[in-house]
Amino acid sequence: MLSKDNHDIIKFLKDLESNIKNLKLELFKVCWFMRGGVTYEQALNLSPEERTLVADLVKENMETTKKTGQPFF
C-alpha cells in the first residue's frame, strides 16, 4: 500500500466501503428471509460458505414459491 499513489488508495478504500455495504445488505436479507430465525449478530458470524448456502436456500425457496403459487414463509 505504501507504494500506491493517493488515487489508488482512495479507490481501494472506496472498493472496501462498497464491499462492506454489500455484505451488510446480504446479512440483512438473510435475517429478513429467515423471519427472525437468525439475528443480525448471528448472521455476522456466518462464514462466506454458510452465507452462500443460506442464499442458495432462499433462492430455491423463492423459485418454488413462484412455481407453486404458494405463500413464501
**DSSP codes of every residue in the chain:** -TTS-HHHHHHHHHHHHHHHHHHHHHHHHHHHHTTTSS-HHHHHT--HHHHHHHHHHHHHHHHHHHHH-PPP-
Average pLDDT over residues 19-35: 91
Domain count for the chain? 1
| Exposure letters 35-44 (e unless 16+ CB within 10 A, then b) | eeebeeeebe
Q: pLDDT tens digit string along 34-49?
A: 888 999 999 999 999 9
pTM metric for this prediction = 0.72
Q: Looking at the domain assignment, is residue 73 inside a domain?
A: no
At 2, the pLDDT band (50, 70, 90 cuts) reads: low
1, part of any domain: no
Band of the pLDDT at 73, cuts 50, 70, 90? low
Structural domain range at position 11: 6-68
CA distance 28 to 16: 18
The answer to the question of residue 14 being in a domain is yes
